[in-house]
A = this chain, B = another copy of it.
């Protein structure tokens, strides 16, 4: 299992792409490497890299390659997100897609071609570098889809598929990079969101989830309750339910401890329990924490949560969450998957309210599956934190001591499929979890 961090530059945040200073990058990546992680995820700003529809700035690409090469010096692999797009409440849309030039970023043919061209150009520049982890199409572009965005770009699920297909093809037009599509959790929790769960599994080489408990999980259940510390695990299991290939990897590409809903003193325990629980999910390829460095208070107007998400302060001091993260990485690295399962029970969680996962390798994944009726209208709302399905999943997790798998009603209960996934017990989500487990066993 890989460990990494989302790299939020300490000086000037992502605005630092405008005038990249290699010495700042070297300082930041040195700190990040001290955590023992193996990769970073980076986010060039779209308007900087592609300021005109037909102009990709080679200087901006050179800057990106500088970061990649400095990462290599520290033994870090790099995952690159193509379109930003959206970052920490700020949208970075190029002028050629805004106001007088307003065009739909998902459906306008010229725009989509330009986006695919950018993905291809990144792939071309990255190819052959030894420390490339992969290419993500962009950060949570589905935030620009209705209904929540204040200036939304309407798109149907079919158009979303076509857009993803075009961008994946762009990213794969050079070499054979590992390609992923990152969405925010409305795809699983909000029935109005046109990017759907299937868009997480039908494109690219792994299924990506971003787990943020400020979505209602922490507010509903409390900071160290299973509803919070199993949220990442839950979302990974939920997303994997749509897999056609049971062996498809899942990637916890963003997860953080938002201290607006997780008290700062509980954040290290939240971090540890979250990671141990997530590690129990079969096929988990990695955890990439959000984020490396706090946003400096010198930068205005960020949502309060963004100023305290770093494993380091903006001036490079390791925080308690950073210490805990580094210790966990060392433990997982040193012990290997078998020892992880053994060590899970002795995890240093401070609160009895929470439960840690078994830390098991995929082979020890839960044999229980809860059925999600994905044929029912409005099923996605039942998956949201506090919804009926989420509560049924949590009940089964509490009963079994491990988060269950998720079985889609639309897929039926084919015995071979269940066997492939190691499922021996199927729970209807409406049933009492403990009783159902007994009944089905």
Contact = CB atoms under 8 A, between A and B. Distances in A.
Nearest to A59: B19
Interface stretch (A190-198, A294-302, A312-320, A358-366): A294-302
Interface stretch (A30-38, A87-95, A253-261, A285-293): A87-95
A145 to B, nearest CB: 13
Interface string A17-31: 011000000000000
Contacts of A93: 98-99
Contacts of A151: 99, 102, 151
A134 interface: no
Contact of A51 (B15, B51, B57, B89): B15
| Count of identical protomers in the assembly | 2
A13 interface: yes
A300 B52 contact: yes
A47 to B, nearest CB: 7
A19 B52 contact: no
Interface string A43-85: 0000110011111010110000000000000000000000000
Given A12-B57, A19-B57, 20 more contacts: A12-B55, A15-B51, A15-B52, A15-B57, A18-B48, A18-B57, A18-B59, A19-B59, A19-B60, A52-B299, A53-B300, A54-B300, A89-B100, A93-B98, A96-B300, A99-B150, A100-B150, A101-B301, A102-B151, A151-B151
Interface of A: 12-13, 15, 18-19, 47-48, 51-55, 57, 59-60, 89-93, 95-96, 98-102, 110, 149-151, 298-301
